[in-house]
Structure 1
Amino acid sequence: MVSNTSHSRYSSPPTMREFSVVVLGAGGVGKSALTVRFVQDVFLETYDPTIEEAYRRVIEADGVTASLEILDTAGAEQFTALNEMYIRSGRGFVLVFSLTQEASLREVDNLRQQIYRIKGGDEAVPIVVVGTKLDLVSEREVSRGTIQSLVARWGLPFYETSAKRNWHVADAFEDLVRQMIIRYPFDPAVKKRRLHRPCTIM
């Protein structure tokens, strides 16, 4: 964080970066609870199946200010026809499963493969994988060993979170923002043309 007395390097406000983030996963895994905790810092006590909900939040990561438009989607198995549209428009993806439901990991794997296919096989697409309901220890079905195996196989960051306790929620989104800042370097000329030709940094 730069103090208010440091004017020499920051005489004008930094350019705001804008990124579209898509939250995907099976129904009932806690996508909405995760998103609302991050954006509004409240916990949704009741489950209300989402069709589509958009949120916005401005955050700072690595000295870059980013405005995130976060699309909270329906359960992937319920509205699969919409997945391709979401994935084409998204720049970063939060793939959500429940630590209390091992079967929900299969949907994450399907979505991961779908993203790479739609994005033309580009495996530098910003993605974080998020396990929810970390606080429900006695109901946990997904072992840490399983997660470590998937980390090694997929090469993606995993976060174990609890929206109820606000454990590691911001960490997951901040990781994604850092990936997007690297993946989509700022180019004012590109913004004027309203298209992007990002370079890949691995």
Structure 2
Amino acid sequence: MADDKRGREKQARDAERRQQERDIATELDRGDESEPPVEAAALDDVEAALESVQFPATGADVVAAIGDRTIESDGERYAIEALVPETDREAFDSPAAVQVAVRRPTVASAMKRIVESIETRQDAEFSWSQRKAYETTFRALGSIDADDDDEGIAVIRDWIVDRVRETGDLPSSRAVRREAAEFCRTNGYQVRADEWLGI
């Protein structure tokens, strides 16, 4: 491969795609851990419905095909259209990628709002690594036992969307972690220095 801009961009895209595949495999392997609130068996209906979708598929394609399907988590039902961004900007390589995306409904709905908030901004970049950092921050907020309503996720989601409206850009993953840590400290939730939010 030539050592020019196009060659370097292809290498970067290939590296990002390989990382996405590793992340999806890791998420699927962790399906038996207590963290994902949606059990793998609850996604069987979604998996069957995704057989009619041609992959790779955009979020808009997935919502058009199975948006009315629902999954249940902790006694609540969530429509797929409430969890997957209805946009061409969001792409899924496989049915497994969709299942991983919807496995944590509160995180998925927050990410949907964020992705849709940048839909009209052509120059806004949302890299895989930044997305993973946002999701990790949301998961850390979701694991706060004292915050049963996932208030932290909603607060940080809204803070990000407001920053996009005000500046036109997504805040850095470090800024998001810092804001989440500040939310925790302000509300009396302990954040240890060796944790993700311990920034």
More helix by percentage: 2
What is the TM-score of this pair, normalised by structure 2?
Answer: 0.28
Relative contact order higher in (CA < 8 Å, ≥ 6 apart): 1
Higher share of residues assigned strand = 1
